[in-house]
Chain A
Amino acid sequence: MIELSAYTQLLVSYAILGGVYGLTALGLSLIWGVMKAVNWAHGDFLMVGMYTAFWTVTLFGIDPYIAAIVAFILLGLIGMVTHVIAIEPVVEKPGGHEATLLTTLGISVILESLALILWSPSPRSYQNVYKNTFLEVLGIRTSVAEAIAFVVSIASIVAVDQFLKRVKIGKAIRAVSQNPVGARVVGIDVPKIRLMTFGLGVGLAGMAGVLVSTFYPNIRPLAGYVWDIASYVVVIFAGLGTIYGVIFAGIIIGITEGLGTIVFSNAFRQILVYVVFLVVLLLRPQGLFGKALRRV
Chain B
Amino acid sequence: MDTKAWILAIVLLIVGLLVGYFAAGPGQAKTVTVTKSVEKTVTVTKTVAGTATQPAKTTTAPAKKVEVKVGVLLPLSGGSAFSGQEDLKGIQLAALHVNQSKYPNLKFTMKLVIADTQTKQDVAVTELRRLAQEGVVAIIGAYNSAVTYPSAAEAERIGLPYVVPESVSDKITAQGWKYVFRTCANASKYAYDTLWAMADIAKANGVEVKSVALIYENSDFGVTTTEGLKKYLNKFFPNAKIVHEESYPAEEVTSMDDMVAKLKAENPDIVFHVAYLKDAVLFVQTMKKLNWYPKAYVGAGAGGQTRVEFIQQLGADANYVYTQTEWQPDFLNSKALSKWAWINDDFKKLYGRDMVGSSALNYVGTYVLAVAIQKALDSGANPSDIKAFRKAVRDALETIKIPAGELPLMPWGVDLTVPNHQNPEAAVAMAQILEGRFRVVWPIEFAPVKAVFPAPPWGKR
Contacts and interface: CB of A to CB of B under 8 A. Distances in A.
A141 B255 contact: no
A131 B285 CA distance: 8
B428 to A, nearest CB: 23
Interface residues of A, number: 38
Interface string A107-134: 0000000000000001111110001101
A84 interface: no
Contacts of A258: 255, 257-258
A124 B262 contact: no
Contacts of A216: 254, 282
Nearest to A136: B291
Interface residues of B, number: 30
Contact of A13 (B257, B262, B281): B257
B246 A265 contact: yes
A2 B265 CA distance: 6
A279 interface: no
A217 B261 contact: no
Contact of B309 (A2, A122, A257, A262): A122
A220 B313 CA distance: 13
B248 A267 contact: yes
A230 B254 contact: yes
A267 B249 contact: yes
Contacts of A143: 289
A10 B257 contact: yes
A9 interface: yes
A125 B258 contact: no
A142 interface: yes
Given A2-B265, A125-B313, A217-B278, A141 B290 contact: yes
B253 interface: yes
Contacts of A225: 251
Q: Which of B258, B277, B285 has the most CB of A within 10 A?
A: B258
A261 interface: yes
A253 B384 CA distance: 70
Nearest to A258: B258
B218 interface: yes
A17 interface: yes
A261 B257 CA distance: 10
A162 interface: no
A226 B252 contact: yes
A132 B264 CA distance: 19
A123 B277 contact: yes
Interface in B237-261: 246-249, 251-255, 257-259, 261
A96 B365 CA distance: 59
Interface in B273-311: 277-278, 281-282, 285, 288-291, 309
Given A141-B289, A218-B278, A270-B249, A17 B259 contact: no
B166 interface: no
Nearest to A261: B258
A85 interface: no
12 contacts: A3-B265, A6-B265, A13-B255, A123-B309, A125-B313, A217-B285, A225-B251, A230-B254, A257-B254, A265-B247, A267-B218, A267-B247
Given A123-B277, A141-B291, 5 more contacts: A10-B258, A17-B254, A141-B289, A262-B258, A270-B252
The 5 closest A-B pairs by CB, nearest first: A266-B248, A261-B258, A217-B281, A13-B257, A218-B278
